[in-house]
Structure 1
Amino acid sequence: MNKSTTGLLLGSALVMGLAGCASSGSQSSGASSSGDSWYSSPFVCGLAGGLIGGGLGYGVSSNDDEETGAAVGATAGATAGALLCSGGDSREMDSDNDGVPDSRDECPGTPAGVAVDAKGCPIDTDGDGVPDYLDQCPGTPAGVEVDSRGCPLDSDGDGVPDYQDQCPDTPAGTQVNALGCPASLVLRDVNFEFDSAKLKSNAEQTLNDVAEKLNSNEQVRVRLEGYTDSVGSDSYNKDLSQRRAESVRQYLISQGVSADRMEALGFGEQNPVASNDTAQGRAENRRTEVHPLGDDGKVMDRTGQNGSSNQ
């Protein structure tokens, strides 16, 4: 057998072997994530390609060019072999099947079916740190602190989130309006001298508590509403209730509450809360109420709408 025939047979055998290895490496790449099988190594494939190229170059060269032919063939074969077998690594792994390969996935292990961004992380539309698929309160305003469900914090549990609550730390069970403040506060222990707007001494402790609450929640504005029973004329009772509401306001100012946070309004015998036919009922109707005001200067009810009474 002459040199040419020997070289061609050797080269053909090596070509077939390399092609088989490359094929096996390609088929195995989807099932193995290690990438360290011998047939998927560019070094091993390059070495095999060099042998193939060298054999072919030697076989087809003349006697005078054997070394040159073998060298050129080896170089070309090594390059081709490395490129051919590196196909086993061309398919990048995507362990969680989210469409982002592991090499670029910053959030591996994303649950199946969850929409992700270009980094492989679950989408968080409102940017509150809780991904959409876990967020029970989507659309939270930017910068609002949320809990693990993605809902704004409500520290006092009154149903009004902290970022909207103008009266934090409301006692448990207290009915509040849309501002997080008590819907209304009736100052039943605030009494006046007979037929007068002068406060009795027992009213001071109640008003001191009111002043403390207002001073601790400086964003809250209130309306002080005065009421009387039905004894006397309508016009006289309305004037008396106005003077009494203003008297309460002046006392709260003396306790440090800013004057521009309070307004006083007398309603006389309007809106009774009990019957004026009995002494007990008339006593209940003689009262002062404190109502939080909304941004529009109107009394707010629990739903955040304009109060239906006294408007």
Structure 2
Amino acid sequence: MKTSASWVLTLAVPLAACSSASGPTFNAYQINPQDGVPTYRVECHGLLQGQGVCTDKAKEICGDQPVHPLEPVTPFGRSTDVRTLTFQCGPTPAKPVTAMEPAPVPIAMPAVVKRLDLGGDANFDTDKATLTPAAKRELDQLVADSRGITFKHGEISGYTDSRASAAHNLALSQRRADSVATYLREQGLQCDDLIVRGFGKDNPVASNTTAAGRAMNRRVEIRLIPS
């Protein structure tokens, strides 16, 4: 069988056709460019024409350039018996590089300060620095809530009411603050810089003219700042 092929590189016009006794076995077209690149299509007809016919004709059209398929060769169908190859000539275009989104910047969360105030007469006996069971329960809970935390700074401050002498009150407030600090350390509280001070009757939170006010002023304040 002799075949003839005339190549006319014109949009929407056949590039080549090959005929046999049973009709054309392939048609080649130049179709609308995709992305500005010349684009071609080869149709292979007949049960006796393998996929290689389309590929061979695509290579003829591209000459010394590689064939870059845009669509795969479609299989034979019962009604059409056609294979089709749409392609461009030249190397496969590189995929565009997608700009990487910048990694999210972690937001610095403010350090959560642990606070506990041991106030009133339930935490120490009158004029003493010994912790009561009620005070120990509160301190135990603070330690439990602080498991796995190392505090970079802490302050334990003792206060009294205004009764008795200033010297007596200052010494009593220091002993009570020391008792709290010692107990917390014994229970495993981790703090790199712990300041323990007694302030006596300074910084009252209520009036010392009433019993209720004096009870509120007799307190130990705990402030712990995590690392």
Same fold (TM over 0.5): yes
1:125 pairs with 2:102 = yes
Which residues of structure 1 form unaligned runs of 5+? Answer: 1-10, 47-77, 94-100, 106-117, 127-137, 141-151, 153-159, 162-177, 296-311
Structure 1 runs (4+) greater than 4 angstroms displaced: 17-24, 83-88, 90-93, 258-261
- Residues 234, 294 of structure 1: alpha-carbon distance in 2 compared, 3 angstrom cutoff: farther
1:43 pairs with 2:56 = yes
Counterpart for residue 30 of structure 2: 25
Which residues of structure 2 form unaligned runs of 5+? Answer: 16-27, 44-53, 69-86
Distance 1:188 1:227 in 2: 9
Distance 1:278 1:292 in 2: 31
1:217 pairs with 2:148 = yes
Distance 1:292 1:203 in 2: 17
Q: CA deviation at 1:244?
A: 0.7
Q: For residues 125-156 of structure 1, give each alpha carbon's deviation from its aligned partner in whole angstroms, at most 9, with x where no partner exists.
A: 12xxxxxxxxxxx422xxxxxxxxxxx6xxxx
Counterpart for residue 246 of structure 1: 178
| SS of the residue 1:224 aligns to | strand
**8 Å contact from structure 1 (residues 43, 82) kept in 2:** no
Distance 1:247 1:257 in 2: 14
Letter in 2 for 1:104: K
| SS of the residue 1:27 aligns to | strand
Distance 1:28 1:217 in 2: 66
Q: For residues 196-219 of structure 1, give each alpha carbon's deviation from its aligned partner in whole angstroms, at most 9, with x where no partner exists.
A: 2222343222222223233x1331
Letter in 2 for 1:218: I
Q: CA deviation at 1:284?
A: 0.7
Determine which structure has the larger strand proportion and give its number. Answer: 2
The one of 287, 294, 306 aligned to 2:219: 287
Counterpart for residue 72 of structure 1: none
The one of 139, 147, 171 aligned to 2:105: 139
Q: For residues 99-131 of structure 1, give each alpha carbon's deviation from its aligned partner in whole angstroms, at most 9, with x where no partner exists.
A: xx6x636xxxxxxxxxxxx3x2x52212xxxxx
Determine which structure has the larger helix proportion and give its number. Answer: 1
**8 Å contact from structure 1 (residues 25, 85) kept in 2:** no
Give 1 or 2 for the bigger CA radius of gyration: 2
TM norm structure 2: 0.60
| SS of the residue 1:196 aligns to | coil
- Residues 256, 139 of structure 1: alpha-carbon distance in 2 compared, 3 angstrom cutoff: closer
- Residues 179, 18 of structure 1: alpha-carbon distance in 2 compared, 3 angstrom cutoff: closer
Distance 2:105 2:57 in 1: 56
**8 Å contact from structure 1 (residues 227, 288) kept in 2:** yes
| SS of the residue 1:275 aligns to | coil
- RMSD over equivalenced CA pairs, Å: 4.1
- Residues 92, 200 of structure 1: alpha-carbon distance in 2 compared, 3 angstrom cutoff: same
Q: How many residues align?
A: 181
Q: For residues 241-295 of structure 1, give each alpha carbon's deviation from its aligned partner in whole angstroms, at most 9, with x where no partner exists.
A: 1111001112223323357564311122222221222111111111111101366
| SS of the residue 1:89 aligns to | strand
Counterpart for residue 199 of structure 1: 131
Distance 1:29 1:44 in 2: 20
TM norm structure 1: 0.46
